[in-house]
Amino acid sequence: MSQSNGGTMTAIAIEGGRGPAEALKPVRIPRPAPGPGQILVRVRAAGVNRPDIVQRLGAYPPPPGAPETLGLEVAGEVVEGAGRWKAGDQVCALLGGGGYAEYAVVDARHALPLPGGLDFVQAAGLPETVFTVYANVFEHGALKAGETLMVHGATSGIGVTAIQMAKAAGAKVIATARGADKAAKALELGADVAVDATADDFAEVARREGGADVVLDMVGGDYFARELDALKTGGRIVFIAAQGGGEVALPIFRLMQKRAVVTGSTLRPRDADEKARLAAEVERVVWPWIAAGRVGPPVDAVFPLTDASKAHAHLEGGAHVGKVVLVVD
């Protein structure tokens, strides 16, 4: 990525390179210029995601070539086009970084048309979660119509998206959340069964419901053994994070008895061609669900770009239901 002659722009930097939410500060930096195969987007809104917090804490560096500034998803207008995009097109896009800014450069293949009926704020909350859920639940987890998905963190951005996408695909959903209020919200979002993980044993509930074919796990730690108990024969556990602990004990004979598959993935480090393949699949499969009103994760809170620190504090507080989004004037 090269600097343009377009002057400077406001972006959000981490003061000192890492730190608490308060370390996020607006700065003026050169406006980027697109390289070959890239588009320049005037950012209207940017999604805030948990990996942004991990990066802010110093544990999730951007991939080679990506901006040091935060932000993995944006929505806005194309300023300089490439590929199928021309100036004025409205898009949302997956980024390697740099979304918390007035402008961002994007691989043209990683941008998708703004779904009909959605505004920039709603669309900015789609790419990171939709790509993650599609890759992990439907590709690695191979969830099919008629099967059962168990998803933890039901009211998180990933959780609400997984519930909606699984239901759109014809699956049953068992959702877990911490607290009765959040469990009730999961039912409102479309889950068939909701479990307050602070009060009930989700494995016992899952067994009572016939078991889970796929578990989407962002917790790890002591959840793993119970997930194995909850799993149907031939079931799949897919890890996308480990907020409860990155090391688990694997009971081999139990795994063999269940013929279980344990897998997982990250999205950000995937190469550009793989992300382009995934973008095309998401547009083919998920965009029609959005157009039909079956998928459209709720936006919990909106903050101005310059209040990114408050947005991070809100997300870390854990009370949100759905996405947290920054808006750019």
How large is the average pLDDT for residues 260-276?
Answer: 94
Fold of 2-126+299-327: Quinone Oxidoreductase; Chain A, domain 1 (3.90.180)
How large is the average pLDDT for residues 292-311?
Answer: 95
Give the up-direction half-sphere exposure of residue 156: CA atoms within 13 A in the CB hemisphere.
Answer: 29
How large is the average pLDDT for residues 232-248?
Answer: 93
Residue scoring higher pLDDT (57 or 319): 57
Report whether 152 contacts 217 (CB < 8 A): yes
Residue 5 has pLDDT above 60, yes or no: no
How large is the average pLDDT for residues 202-229?
Answer: 95
Q: What is the share, in percent, of the chain residues with pLDDT greater than 90? A: 89
Report whether 223 contacts 244 (CB < 8 A): yes
Question: Helix 157-168 to helix 272-291 angle, to the nearest 10 degrees?
Answer: 60
User: Rounded distance, CA 323 to CA 15, Å?
Assistant: 25
Name the CATH superfamily for 130-264: NAD(P)-binding Rossmann-like Domain (3.40.50.720)
- The reported pLDDT for the residue numbered 1 is 45
- The reported pLDDT for the residue numbered 318 is 87
Query: Minimum mean pLDDT among 75-79, 197-201, 242-246: which range?
Result: 242-246
How large is the average pLDDT for residues 14-43?
Answer: 96
Taking residue 15's Cβ as centre, other Cβ atoms within 10 Å add up to 12
Residue 314 has pLDDT above 60, yes or no: yes
Q: What is the share, in percent, of the chain residues with pLDDT greater than 70? A: 98
Residue 220 has pLDDT above 80, yes or no: yes
Domain coordinates in residue numbering, the chain: 2-126+299-327, 130-264
Question: 224: closest CA among 208, 205, 241, 199?
Answer: 241
Residue 255 has pLDDT above 90, yes or no: yes
Per residue in 91-127, pLDDT tens?
Answer: 999 999 999 999 999 999 999 999 988 999 999 999 9
Residue 158 has pLDDT above 90, yes or no: yes
Confidence band, pLDDT 50/70/90 cuts, at residue 63: confident
Mean pLDDT over the full length of the chain: 95
Confidence band, pLDDT 50/70/90 cuts, at residue 4: low
How large is the average pLDDT for residues 61-77?
Answer: 92
Residue 320 has pLDDT above 50, yes or no: yes
Report whether 23 contacts 53 (CB < 8 A): no
pTM score, whole prediction: 0.94
Per residue in 30-52, pLDDT tens?
Answer: 999 999 999 999 999 999 999 99
How large is the average pLDDT for residues 288-306?
Answer: 95
Confidence band, pLDDT 50/70/90 cuts, at residue 218: very high
